[in-house]
Amino acid sequence: MRSRRLFLAILVVGGGALFAQLKELKPGFNFFSTQQDIQLGQEAKAQVEKTMPVIQDRRITDYLTQIGQMLARSPHAGQWPFSFSTIYDKNINAFALPGGPIFINTATIAAADNEAQLAGVMAHEMSHIVLRHGTHQASKAQFIQLPAMIAGAALGNGILGALGRLGINIGANSVLLKYSRDAEAQADYNGAEIMADVGYNPVEMARFFEKLESKGSEGQIAQFLSDHPSPGNRVKAVEEEIQYLPKKTYRDTITGKFQGVQTYVQRLKPPKNYKPPAQNQNPPPGA
């Protein structure tokens, strides 16, 4: 009996030491329920679809969904109803709404060096949803009014409209979409875990973000860098994290479809409702 207890103690201590440096990140405090995250995200998604050139293209949607479904099976992706949509835009950007919807600009697909980089953007955005960064930030910003507002929204008025009365929307510099450096570091960390679970090389995510950062914060990538401020030395951070992840051979591609879809996206004609950004009445989220 005694030796068995000792054996168990060694197992616990040994296991603890082995994974001592691997963090399991959890969401911060939040006035919203997870169900309200999902409801808010659906309301906001409907608004994005009305105001932005979201493209309905089977080939692109199927491809993103295939990658997204693999990533969503990771235990680090939680239980969220993810969806992956594409916006026709020559600016590199991607954003996540609370509770599941993710939007990826066509320019992001065009700019990635390989599938793992695109999957990295997706895993990073999924991590903002899993860690509930948007509603966490809104909870921090509206500490006084939000609890009463949420009680009112539960009666069926819609959350997005109620948030709008507090000055929170999904437009310019929204607190729901513009993250802190801490949140960025967390999304990289959790995103790397998701990628590793699937078999994508997590370093590719960091490489893609550093590639964007090296171009400076003007023009084509200004919005992305404004919404996702650099936590600094992303490649090094992921390389350190990988030492504590289960050892496996990582890949830069899994589906074998990346090149074909990327070429297809690069040649895509603008959708009928596309307006060049300068004339667009509705600035993109975070713009």
Shortest gap between Cβ of 198 and Zn ion (angstroms)?
19
Shortest gap between Cβ of 246 and Zn ion (angstroms)?
25
Shortest gap between Cβ of 212 and Zn ion (angstroms)?
11
What's CA 211's distance to the chain center, in Å?
18
Taking the least distance from each CB to Zn ion, the nearer of 96 and 146 is 96
Give phi and psi for 200, each to the nearest 5: -75, 145
Taking the least distance from each CB to Zn ion, the nearer of 146 and 183 is 183
Contact 71, 198 (CB under 8 A): yes
What's the rounded Cα separation, in Å, for the pair 194 and 188? 10
Tell me which amino acid residue 256 is: G
Contact 103, 54 (CB under 8 A): yes
Shortest gap between Cβ of 95 and Zn ion (angstroms)?
9
Taking the least distance from each CB to Zn ion, the nearer of 162 and 187 is 187
What's the rounded Cα separation, in Å, for the pair 17 and 187? 24
Shortest gap between Cβ of 127 and Zn ion (angstroms)?
8
Contact 123, 194 (CB under 8 A): yes
What's the rounded Cα separation, in Å, for the pair 90 and 107? 5
Shortest gap between Cβ of 180 and Zn ion (angstroms)?
10
Taking the least distance from each CB to Zn ion, the nearer of 93 and 114 is 93
Taking the least distance from each CB to Zn ion, the nearer of 52 and 123 is 123
| Order of all β-strands in the sheet with 54-55 | 54-55, 83-87, 101-105, 94-96
Tell me which amino acid residue 151 is: A
Shortest gap between Cβ of 124 and Zn ion (angstroms)?
6
Strand, coil or helix: what is 96?
strand
Residues making contact with Zn ion (CB under 5 A): 184, 187, 228
Give phi and psi for 105, each to the nearest 5: -70, 150
Query: Tokens 């994974």 map to which residue?
Result: 19
Contact 98, 40 (CB under 8 A): yes
Taking the least distance from each CB to Zn ion, the nearer of 185 and 245 is 185
Taking the least distance from each CB to Zn ion, the nearer of 82 and 149 is 82
Taking the least distance from each CB to Zn ion, the nearer of 76 and 228 is 228
Which letter, b or e, does each residue of 195-206 get, where b requires 16 or more Cβ atoms within 10 Å of its Cβ? bbbbebbbbbbb
Shortest gap between Cβ of 9 and Zn ion (angstroms)?
41
